[in-house]
Amino acid sequence: LNVDHRVPDTEDISVPKDIDLVGLPELCFPGGLYISSESKEDHIHFLVFTDVCGNRTYGVVAQYYQPIQVCCTGKAFACFVPFAVCVISRYPYFNALKDCLSCLLVHLRPFKDIDAEDHIKEFAAKLFLIPSPPPGPLHLIFNMKPLQIIIPSREDPDSPIIDLDLHLPLLCFKPKQVLQVMTCILTEQRIVFFSSDWALLTLVAECFMLYLHPLQWQHTFVPILSHQMLDFVMAPTSFLMGCHVDHFEEVSKEAEDLILININNGDITSSKLSERETEIPDVPLEAAEIFVKRVQSLQLHYDLELCHLTSGINLSELQMRRRAWHQKLNTEVQQITLQLIFNIFREVKDHLNYEHRVFNSEEFLKTRAPGDQPFYKKVLETYMFHSFLKARLNRRMDAFARLELSTQTEEDRLNLMLDSPRRPTMEKMASKRFNPQYMISRRMVISMPNLQDIKPQGNPIKNSSLRRATCRGNRDFSPKSVSMFRIPEVHFPLVSQCVHSYYTDFINHLSRTISNLPPDDSALLARYFYLRGLISLTEGKLLNALSDFQNLYKTDIRIFPTDLVRKMIEILPPSERSQADRKPELKRLISQVTEKQREMTKVDDHVKNFELPKTHMQLDDFVKRIQESGIVKDIETIHRLFDALTVGHQKQIDPETFRDFYNYWKETEAEVQEVNLPPTVIEYLDKNECVYKLSCSVKTTYGVGKIAMTQKRLFLLTEGGRPGYIEISTFRDIEEVKSTTVAFLVLRIPTLRIKTVSKKDIFEANLKTECDLWHLMVKEMWAGKKMSDDHKDPHYIHQALTNVLLMDAVVGALQSSKTIYAASKLAYFDKMKNEVPMMIPKTTSETLKHKINPSVGETFPQAVNVLLYTPGHLDPAEKPGDTFPKLWCALNEGKVAVFDASTWSIQQHCFKVGSSKLTCMVMVEQSQVWIGSQDSIIYIINTHSMSCNKQLNDHRSDVMDIVVDTHEDAPSCTYSCSLDGTVIAWNISTLKVNDIFQLPCQNLTSIKLHNDWLWCCNWNLLSLLLPQNVCCFGVGKPLCYGRQDLMWQTRERTVSLNLLGIYNASKAVISFQLWIGSRGLSQGKIKGKIYVVDIERKRVEKELVGHADTVKALCSAENRYVLSGSGKEEGKIAIWKVE
């Protein structure tokens, strides 16, 4: 079971490294070795070995008794001597190896000692020839008479191998006790399991390890201690060990601060020498209740399952039937335990800063319920949780992250888009009051929305839901379908010729299976290529193995064995290396693997806990500290905050000022979280509105009450017997805001005066000392709303909202005569409105429908390099909730953001494909999006899993364009071009190269198919290719020039479009229009411009100015809309209506 780690060399690998053979007999006979006067039943137990680096190796031990004749005092009598056979594997194949040993014991019965030893050698040799399956939907099956042995694969590369019954702890413990044990492990206690059954010790301990996945126990793990090893429990560090129940009293008396778990009766106690009873904190209440309820719904007893089934008529049928039941139950238990871990830790992400790798544990604890805090205080101090944080900060896509993505609500996705300070929405307030059970709304969106219906005044929320996080697939507990591959028989595994024949049969069988599989079944193809590569490697056929591993790039790169291939390349003989260099695909593979080795750098995986600064801060340090605190990320906003906090001082901030500002911000956040509006008020507000600021109780023209500010409006929360709602104004309807005074006796009371478009009456509020601050805040929100409406960009109002809350915190923190002046430094939109009034051209305003910001949450904007719209499909392979159309956006350094094009909420936030600039994207078929990169690779994204598991590596330069041959109903061919003039034709099904054309030119920038001709454009030449005849020629007079003009010559006029050059311009073709993105002058400033050209008349119909930077990307959406993306100065996407 170790074939996949074997490289042909002279190393003796008969025994795995780091296994202490001296101590092995004690573990094979953990209860001692005793001769018996009568035969005893064979039994199995399991071992786990851990080396100094924490790597685990697994053992399965079979004990059996053989009779011998003993002569004593002249009399002969029979006694029975125990023997043990231990199989050691790198992987936890507990059930498989148990079955193997059971078969061995059947065959050992008739043999004498010498014959038994030979039989054991043959058994070991046969097991050694069995490979471990790669991760994915393929199990291996082989014959070990009389049983068929199944070697299961792990579900994916990040998942553990599961070859045991996960429900065992649920049979031994009640659900609440299971939670107690999990808490002990999560808080890294010193834990000892006890049982009268040695096998249960390891199996139950392993089950608890799997329950915690993806969290991992990182301390000593010795699930079986022999009686000679009992002193191990005196170790001072965290550990998990197991002993026979006979030693319970001895261990409890000799060691202190131990958690003692008796598997026999389900008791959980602490050792008696402890000065105080060890407190096991409770699992967070809500997560615990869900877990208990779901465990109680499980069917844990196979006999009850058998009641309605017919009786099995042979051993194989009974074995497969029971295995199917266990697989289904294992899947259910995995889902339930993963849901528990997710419910416990799902809000950790809200307190992480990814740029500076900071976790704000103090703020996280403050947001926990009081009864849950003891649990979190202990867990947050553990190595296990620290590693979990590393994985989150590294954005590892493990089971936890996948569940998090699948359970995101529409509100969650919109919060990612808007990056506003966290406040409870009206919907959450209502849920607190009525506590309904929320269920996720499934959306069946087939086409683009009517963007005229998207109202810029509010968040475009659709079907938002605040239900308890549950996986959409949770109710379907059926295991994923897997295939079985039968390994050929090996009859004499100790005879080299027979072993060679076995390998030959194995490769031939795999080759036949590969040839019979359809090319679109890439998941299974990858597993068969992997296995054939392993067997070829074991046979010493290195080039054949490299070819099979190279095929993984086009089938499933996730299982590519990088380390193994690197070792193979290092040991390639010179003759085979020269052969590999003559094969382009192998030469490319060797180059990629060796280059990746040179480029490997140590991953920065530190995690820092947020702490308030203790020294004075210059600007750069202040920016870092504010970002770490989670208050705001945008650098320009932080610069303005720095100016505000340093008014009248040197340009540095002392720790006290920072602390006062931070504390005031957090206190205000906490106060507003506690705002509980009555239902009579909530019904007047939108469900996504949040109260961000409340004034003191003041006298107004509408009565006495508190002024409340949301992202949309101002309203008065009236006081009296029953709090009521009186709307003051929406920010859009404000006509004038003034700060004035009114006379009261001999006093002049500061008053805020607001005039609205829709009301004749002017609203006045005697805000006294709060008046100047409210005046600033209302003006900033008014200006931000106007900017948001003018530019159809909801991000502006949320940016204004952040400015307003920063103003409030500055005034609260400084407490000086200059606080209002300091706060005014943050009035960004009000200043723009007064100093630089921006007029939006009428044509632009009429055509522009909406704007979204893919760089939200980043520290600075990122250029939108490529855009792709993919329509929704009713594909049976997709879940109903995933049928919406998508907008794909390529940002810097290989990052791709995907939006739900029906609501413009983010679906997946920035997964990465490589680290170079992405140059083109195209939907090749419903399940595939191809992305070209400057690293010369085409990345293939599975649109169902939203992951990249295939690559095309045949280009040698920047991939510049990809086009699909769509003249057939089902496209079968795709063309791609690279900067060096190479054009490759691909078979979509097999991903094989149909043909390669090499143009006699450099700087090939784009290709297009038209009337069966392939038009190839570079900086100074337009070429035509007829793919069938592979002919290439230049157009007599070039149509596109290398200088910065694109021209049409007509009799009436010459149309000249001032572009950046063909290489930098973007374009989109509608049936009757050509949209060209570039940049140009508008109101005296360089802006991103879009020229809409009438194709028939060859003239510019419109000039659209919707971006503050060059238009870098354009794409069409169903000929109804055009989407444009801008450069890094702005980094936004605009959605335009096609007239």
Whether 715 and 763 have beta carbons less than 8 Å apart is answered as no
Say yes or no: 277 and 394 in one domain: yes
pLDDT of residue 8: 42
Residue 135 lies in a domain: no
* Token pair listed for 449: 């929305």
Say yes or no: 317 and 229 in one domain: yes
Structural domain of 268: 155-407
**Rounded CA gap, 331 and 1060, in Å?**
56
Looking up residue 704, the CATH number of its domain turns out to be 2.30.29.30
Say yes or no: 226 and 358 in one domain: yes
Residue 88 lies in a domain: no
Say yes or no: 249 and 365 in one domain: yes
Say yes or no: 687 and 794 in one domain: yes
Say yes or no: 325 and 193 in one domain: yes
Longest Cα–Cα distance of the chain, Å, equals 128
What's the distance, CA 179 to chain centroid? 26
Say yes or no: 386 and 534 in one domain: no
Whether 522 and 555 have beta carbons less than 8 Å apart is answered as yes
**Rounded CA gap, 428 and 93, in Å?**
47
- The amino acid present at 528, given as its one-letter code, is Y
Say yes or no: 594 and 698 in one domain: no
Q: How many structural domains does the chain have? A: 3
**Rounded CA gap, 449 and 887, in Å?**
13
User: Could you tell me the pTM of the whole model?
Assistant: 0.87
Helix (H) / strand (E) element for 1077: namely strand 1073-1082
Looking up residue 365, the CATH number of its domain turns out to be 3.40.50.11500
Residue 862 lies in a domain: no
Tens digits of per-residue pLDDT, 78-120?
A: 788 889 999 999 999 999 999 999 999 988 876 666 678 888 9
| Boundary residue ending a domain (599, 622, 651) | 599
53: DSSP letter: T
Say yes or no: 367 and 494 in one domain: no
List, in order, residues 6 or more apart from 616 with CB less than 8 Å away: 652, 653, 654, 655
pLDDT of residue 7: 43
Residue 799 lies in a domain: yes
In the predicted model, residues of the chain with pLDDT beneath 70 are 1-20, 69-77, 110-114, 272-278, 414-422, 431-479, 598-604, 721, 745-746, 836-838, 873-883, 908-909, 967-970, 1019-1071, 1082-1084
| Boundary residue ending a domain (407, 422, 441) | 407
Tens digits of per-residue pLDDT, 864-881?
A: 999 999 988 545 455 554
Residue 148 lies in a domain: no
| Boundary residue ending a domain (552, 576, 599) | 599
pLDDT of residue 549: 96
**Rounded CA gap, 86 and 954, in Å?**
48
Residue 718 lies in a domain: yes
Question: Residue holding tokens 């095309």?
Answer: 952
List the one residue out of 66, 49, 73, 53 whose CA is nearest residue 114. 66
Residue 606 lies in a domain: no
Say yes or no: 580 and 722 in one domain: no
**Rounded CA gap, 201 and 222, in Å?**
10
Omega of the bond leading into 861 within 30 degrees of 0 (cis): no
Whether 191 and 214 have beta carbons less than 8 Å apart is answered as no
Residue 619 lies in a domain: no
855: DSSP letter: T
- The amino acid present at 933, given as its one-letter code, is S
Whether 971 and 924 have beta carbons less than 8 Å apart is answered as yes
**Rounded CA gap, 39 and 82, in Å?**
9
Say yes or no: 820 and 724 in one domain: yes
DSSP notation for 908-932:
EEEEESSSSPEEEEEEEETTEEEEE
Question: Residue holding tokens 């598997």?
Answer: 263
